[in-house]
Structure 1
Amino acid sequence: MKHIIIGTAGHVDHGKTLLIHSLTGVDTDRLKEEKERGISIELGFAQLSLPSGKKAGIVDVPGHERFIKNMLAGVGGIDLVLLVIAADEGVMPQTREHVDILQLLQVKKGIVVLTKSDLVDEEWRGLVTEEVKEFLQPTVLKDAPVVSVSAITREGIPQLLQLIDRVVEDTEERISTGKLRLPIDRVFSVTGFGTVVTGTLLSGRICLGDTVEVMPQRLLTRVRSLQVHGKKVEQARAGQRTAVNLTGLEVDEVKRGSVLAAPNTLTPSYRMDLRLLLLKSAQKPLKDRARIRLYLGTDEILGRVKLLDRKELEPGAETYVQLELEEQVVAGKGDRFVIRSYSPMRTIGGGTVVDANAPKHKGFKPEIIEQLATLEMGTPEELIDQFLTEKQGLYSVEEVAAGSGLTPREVEPELVKLAKEDRVKIIATEKHPLLVSFPVYRRWSLDIKNMAEAYHKKFPLREGYPKEELRSRKFSFINNKYFQFLLQGLEMDGWIRLYEKSVASSDFTGQASPEDQKKLTAIVDDLKKGGFQPASWALVAKTHGLQEGDAQEYLHYLVRQRQVIKIAEDVYFPAAIYEKARELIIDFLRRNKEISVGQTRDLLQTSRKYALPLLDSFDRERVTRRVGDNRVLIQG
């Protein structure tokens, strides 16, 4: 079944709440103060049953100028507006401001309801209808039908219900397959249940038991129960007014303006790039760095407008701007917003979010304007290319989709073409591919190869550049898991050769020079002379006149090449002697079943200093196994 949210708009005391009561039987003025003053202060909600059997949510918003921010909190999630104008007064100041807001938020489906029609005659009603049509001509509601009603006599109410039914049928439903996003417009506590939040589900769906995140506070919580129009449900879908009971959160941790989302799908930001239209009705130009009030979803945030291509924005003009906010917000590309002047508070403009997590820009850079134009209106191919070129990192398909304002389904078909054109490099992983701009990948490839070659010249006896040192020095912006996949891709493309802990140039042989090899051979020969009691490495190095740095380089090389085996701290056996010890011990165990440290000492004609670490080393290699104080042979 289609889920549509209907909202009211119009000047204070033009009969919005009474109209909803006539349509639904529900009094949406729920606050004592509202009933006493006869005006709506907060948002009101009801369910509307239509003649066809369809049901729609209906949001009653305040009309008084002082409560415009509450009106904005409700209008952002509506699909169809009932613009309420009293027939005895016609278009009034808040009518104009509400229509400006509807224009800025691009709420294109609407019906004009002339209320209090019982108070005027037919001629006056005709004049007001013409005035309203003329007023709406330059707006998104220029084709909105006009119907006259009286909530007191119920004249026109049945016709209005039929008209709403027809318009609802022609109204596009919100997408349930996207990311979960529910801007919160009310927060309260229910005894025995805890914190409850309400809002209109903009996209996706939410299910009982789901883990969700309150943003931008980054509070993880779980859905304890769900209600849609007062009825418990297992699942709520985009377009539905939804109440969500959350576990483990206090009421004061959440506020109107927060957003309920799937974990790790939205990123809070203090900075956004926007396309901004300054209304013709704005009383003065908008200056660079002007302080404003931003209305986004159900949130109100203070910020400053940074103009990117001019000193001031004239009324009626439109441009790209960067908004620097005083609090973090979460948004998505394409979200509509409204701005009001800081003081006095008047609606002055609005537009579209182009980049919800923007880097800081310098003004008067034509290339920035071009990038924003591409980001706003470019093809998927252009958006992917621009995102990867700008960000210069390694990203999953999901990350590219989020950063370019696309869905993963829109990204995936473009990748083969972009890869063939050498614009994107696709790096395979065990699960999902990673993406990087091809020019960036080429530069990284050369950088790593050059760094490896410089390292080989400095340390010719080492295996290669340590991976973690390479990442921390040059690629700290890439997490370790992604970096390992990058290295594997470079090895597959022939740029490097990988070892367990190091990176070598693909053409590096790792062989010692003739001069070094001569010294290494002499060192190993000296170690062999000691038999099963080899000299300490410090003594060997001193004998051959090696400085401390060279001594360590030679030692690491010999150990890596397995010409020398380290069996304990500062105890190194030449490989040939180590293998001889292994053969003798295996032979002994085959004849005697077990061997002690003392028997090992006597067998090898060595001391306990060498016998015990040798046995420990064979244990580690799973040649032997310790049983009590002795060793036995591991079969197989």
Structure 2
Amino acid sequence: MTHLIIGTAGHVDHGKTMLVKALTGVDTDRLKEEKERGISIELGFASLTLPSGRQAGIVDVPGHERFIKNMLAGVGGIDLVLLVIAADEGIMPQTKEHMDIIQLLQIARGVVVLSKVDLVDREWLDLVREEVVEFLKGTILEGAPVVEVSSVTGQGLDELLRTIDLVAQEVKEKPATGYVRLPVDRVFSITGFGTVATGTLWSGILRTGDALEIMPRKIAARVRTLQVHGRKVEEARAGQRVAVNLTGVEVEEVPRGSVLATPGSLTPSYRLDARFVLLGTARPLKNRSRVRLHLGTAEIMCRVILLDRDELTPHETALAQLELEEPAVAVRGDRFVVRSYSPVRTIGGGKIIDPVAPKHRRLRREVIESLLTREKGTPEELLLQQLNSHRTILTAEELVRASGLDENTVKDTLHSLVEKKQVRSIPLENQVYYLLQEVYLQWAENMRLMLQEYHRDFPLREGFPKEEMRSRLFAGLNSKQFQSLLQVMEEDGLVKLYAQEVALTEFTPKPNPKQEQQIQQLLEIYREGNCQPPAWGEATRRVGLESHTAQEILQYLLKKCMLVRVADDLYFHPACVDRARQALVDYLREKGEITVGETRDLLQTSRKYALPLLEYFDREKTTRRVEDKRVLTRAEKQKNRS
């Protein structure tokens, strides 16, 4: 364990602050009121070097019952707890409440400190020790070492340091990978530097210059400087106490309870799904009871919506949704503590199952089963559930946030699910999206049905316009995402793509028998018309085509080069165009130039057709205009020589 956060816990005036001062030389009572009253009101901080050389941060929390909420703001990020019990008083009310909080937050490593041993005799001390051992039975600290200490005489301090060092070896290091998450427990301003926020870095690596997001308010900020244990550093890692000097924000924009996070990594929510535990000392809890939620360093009023029952009795657990009165940010697996609205006392807590939960209907089997999967499911089950609930494409990063799993687990699990063909990957530029295979196949089927109907109604068109299909079936995808989906479907042989259209793989534009007959009649009309073809409307009337069908056939004939558009509403048979071009080229090769009138006579047509034909050949780079005459282009002359 490279980094270690130690927290104190225990009843008011049991010697926590004196113990910290004896261990570190730092008086954590910094407020005038704390000095005058002789009790801790706010959180205190100090650094400690253990015998092994390991650096630890100490969070000294208030013990008075009126300041339990301040205690809760500091205890959330600790790795090891020092439960301080005064030898002259033994177990007291806040000893029990602090132990409940330790149990609810599952702080599994700790040392019990019997303080003020200089005030009692051996016989009394042995009785208190037996009481403490009995008190800890059945709790998460059962079997924790008990060390007898006097902060006044120094008795037991060396043993305590050695014991802390030994227990600390069992503490798992917080993940330095993934997103930055630092719940703020204190904020202040320093002249010349601006806003400083402090807290325990729960995950990630924080560096000078990093961009941050202050959640849940979504305020952008940047790290100016960092301090760890009072020393300026360029980098802070998960598990360290950190002071962050922020630029671009005022003190009031970063209240206690805020979270400094990697931008975009957390989503504010008014609803949290959770496994809720009611303490044995609490009264029965009715559905929709209003309580105080302590999550990270935040205190938020909320209502407990019991999803699987109408009332929760002491010692019981239930699936619940916490309906918050202001938004919060959390991650799956975060632990929380709940205190009653009035009188204010700790009544329970639990573990977050879904940090961005939709509203649920109570007492529904499908809701309960879904939450049980999220609570206890394997990584595969959790990711499949997330993909199934969203039923659209998601990135690995989005699935990390939604599932609460770490980045490496999500990526490895997605790779496995893709290989098993339970999930389909959709590459896009430097990103990869993931989609439940079942949803992918359903999307493909919806597209197939739409294309079948379209091809039946418009057999002469190459395919369905892509953007229109996106707006009809895939409005949740942007154009790039939709194009990537289409490319994957084309690779799977489900569709074929054109520049602007999509079609079924087996489809080829083809007229039906009636249309084929009409097309042949039209082509004959234009062939006979030679260089004096009829207008399209006139030709279609002669064939008996309806206007909407006529337009479809026209587009088909143009795309297949069975007709040539020479000008607006002027079409020629391609054989006629070829003959006209050849006649024009032969004439120009001999004469060198030609006028519109000469063209009219050459092609045995009228000026109405001769001029558009010459302009068409200009566009085609066969001829070019010189004043009121045409000559061959250089490219055409060279082609003729060859």
State TM-score, norm by structure 2.
0.87
Secondary structure at the aligned position of 1:185 is classed as strand
- Alpha-carbon deviation of 1:453? 0.5
Secondary structure at the aligned position of 2:402 is classed as helix
- Alpha-carbon deviation of 1:144? 1.7
Question: Using the alignment, how far apart are the partners of 2:149 and 2:21 within structure 1?
Answer: 13
> Which residue number in structure 2 is paired with residue 206 of structure 1?
206
Structure 1 residue ranges without an equivalent (≥5): none
> Which residue number in structure 1 is paired with residue 553 of structure 2?
554
Contact 1:61 1:70 in 2 (8 A): yes
- Alpha-carbon deviation of 1:542? 6.5
The amino acid of 2:268's aligned partner reads: P
Instruction: Give CA-to-partner distance per residue, 1:547-571, whole Å, 9 cap, x none.
Output: 5533443344344445556788767
> Which residue number in structure 1 is paired with residue 453 of structure 2?
454
Q: How many percent of aligned residue pairs carry the same amino acid? A: 55
Instruction: Give CA-to-partner distance per residue, 1:65-96, whole Å, 9 cap, x none.
Output: 22211111110000011112222222111111
Question: Using the alignment, how far apart are the partners of 1:168 and 1:481 within structure 2?
Answer: 51
How has the CA–CA distance of structure 1 residues 157 and 602 changed in structure 2, closer, same or farther, with 3 Å as cutoff?
farther
The amino acid of 1:334's aligned partner reads: G
How has the CA–CA distance of structure 1 residues 583 and 94 changed in structure 2, closer, same or farther, with 3 Å as cutoff?
farther
Give yes or no for the alignment of 1:257 onto 2:254.
no
Secondary structure at the aligned position of 2:85 is classed as strand
Question: Using the alignment, how far apart are the partners of 1:105 and 1:596 within structure 2?
Answer: 96
Give yes or no for the alignment of 1:18 onto 2:30.
no
The amino acid of 1:488's aligned partner reads: Q
How does 1:420-431 map onto structure 2 within 5 Å?
Answer: 421-428=420-427, 431=430
> Which residue number in structure 1 is paired with residue 223 of structure 2?
223
How does 1:132-211 map onto structure 2 within 5 Å?
Answer: 132-211=132-211
The amino acid of 2:483's aligned partner reads: Q
> Which residue number in structure 2 is paired with residue 86 of structure 1?
86
Secondary structure at the aligned position of 1:163 is classed as helix
> Which residue number in structure 2 is paired with residue 236 of structure 1?
236
Give the number of aligned pairs: 632
- Alpha-carbon deviation of 1:615? 8.6
The amino acid of 1:338's aligned partner reads: V
Instruction: Give CA-to-partner distance per residue, 1:527-555, whole Å, 9 cap, x none.
Output: 77888898776676667665553344334
Question: Using the alignment, how far apart are the partners of 2:620 and 2:397 within structure 1?
Answer: 49
Question: Using the alignment, how far apart are the partners of 1:529 and 1:26 within structure 2?
Answer: 106
Stretch moving more, 541-550 or 234-243: 541-550
How does 1:69-468 map onto structure 2 within 5 Å?
Answer: 69-283=69-283, 285-415=284-414, 418-419=417-418, 421-428=420-427, 431=430, 433-468=432-467
- Alpha-carbon deviation of 1:149? 2.0
> Which residue number in structure 1 is paired with residue 39 of structure 2?
39
Question: Using the alignment, how far apart are the partners of 1:118 and 1:499 within structure 2?
Answer: 88
Question: Using the alignment, how far apart are the partners of 1:326 and 1:625 within structure 2?
Answer: 77
- Alpha-carbon deviation of 1:608? 11
Contact 2:581 2:617 in 1 (8 A): no
Contact 1:593 1:633 in 2 (8 A): no
The amino acid of 2:351's aligned partner reads: T
Question: Using the alignment, how far apart are the partners of 2:155 and 2:602 within structure 1?
Answer: 113
Instruction: Give CA-to-partner distance per residue, 1:139-158, whole Å, 9 cap, x none.
Output: 11112222222222322223
How has the CA–CA distance of structure 1 residues 32 and 456 changed in structure 2, closer, same or farther, with 3 Å as cutoff?
same
Question: Using the alignment, how far apart are the partners of 1:579 and 1:250 within structure 2?
Answer: 78
Contact 2:7 2:60 in 1 (8 A): yes
Stretch moving more, 217-226 or 137-146: 217-226
How does 1:524-543 map onto structure 2 within 5 Å?
Answer: none
> Which residue number in structure 1 is paired with residue 51 of structure 2?
51
Secondary structure at the aligned position of 1:141 is classed as coil
The amino acid of 2:227's aligned partner reads: Q
How has the CA–CA distance of structure 1 residues 132 and 448 changed in structure 2, closer, same or farther, with 3 Å as cutoff?
same
Secondary structure at the aligned position of 1:135 is classed as helix
Secondary structure at the aligned position of 1:184 is classed as strand
The amino acid of 1:180's aligned partner reads: V
Question: Using the alignment, how far apart are the partners of 1:421 and 1:398 within structure 2?
Answer: 21
Stretch moving more, 362-371 or 576-585: 576-585
Stretch moving more, 416-425 or 219-228: 416-425
> Which residue number in structure 2 is paired with residue 505 of structure 1?
504
How does 1:473-488 map onto structure 2 within 5 Å?
Answer: 473-488=472-487
Secondary structure at the aligned position of 2:275 is classed as strand
- Alpha-carbon deviation of 1:450? 0.8
Instruction: Give CA-to-partner distance per residue, 1:172-229, whole Å, 9 cap, x none.
Output: 2212123221111122222222222211011111111222222222223322211112
The amino acid of 1:111's aligned partner reads: V
Instruction: Give CA-to-partner distance per residue, 1:577-608, whole Å, 9 cap, x none.
Output: 77889999999999999999999999996799
How has the CA–CA distance of structure 1 residues 441 and 153 changed in structure 2, closer, same or farther, with 3 Å as cutoff?
same
Question: Using the alignment, how far apart are the partners of 1:581 and 1:66 within structure 2?
Answer: 101
Secondary structure at the aligned position of 2:155 is classed as coil
Contact 2:373 2:381 in 1 (8 A): yes
Contact 1:594 1:633 in 2 (8 A): no
Secondary structure at the aligned position of 2:353 is classed as strand
Instruction: Give CA-to-partner distance per residue, 1:391-437, whole Å, 9 cap, x none.
Output: 32222333334433323432444456545654333445555543322
Stretch moving more, 149-158 or 41-50: 149-158
Question: Using the alignment, how far apart are the partners of 2:419 and 2:360 within structure 1?
Answer: 32
Contact 1:532 1:606 in 2 (8 A): no
User: CA RMSD, aligned part only?
Assistant: 3.8
- Alpha-carbon deviation of 1:57? 0.5
How has the CA–CA distance of structure 1 residues 85 and 514 changed in structure 2, closer, same or farther, with 3 Å as cutoff?
same
- Alpha-carbon deviation of 1:489? 2.1
The amino acid of 1:340's aligned partner reads: R
Instruction: Give CA-to-partner distance per residue, 1:436-478, whole Å, 9 cap, x none.
Output: 2222222222111011111222232322222222222222233
State TM-score, norm by structure 1.
0.88
Question: Using the alignment, how far apart are the partners of 1:594 and 1:219 within structure 2?
Answer: 74
Question: Using the alignment, how far apart are the partners of 2:314 and 2:99 within structure 1?
Answer: 17
Question: Using the alignment, how far apart are the partners of 1:249 and 1:168 within structure 2?
Answer: 37
Contact 2:201 2:237 in 1 (8 A): yes
Contact 2:462 2:508 in 1 (8 A): no
Question: Using the alignment, how far apart are the partners of 2:466 and 2:268 within structure 1?
Answer: 32
Instruction: Give CA-to-partner distance per residue, 1:21-72, whole Å, 9 cap, x none.
Output: 1211112122222222222222111111223322101111112222211111
How has the CA–CA distance of structure 1 residues 541 and 34 changed in structure 2, closer, same or farther, with 3 Å as cutoff?
farther
The amino acid of 1:26's aligned partner reads: V
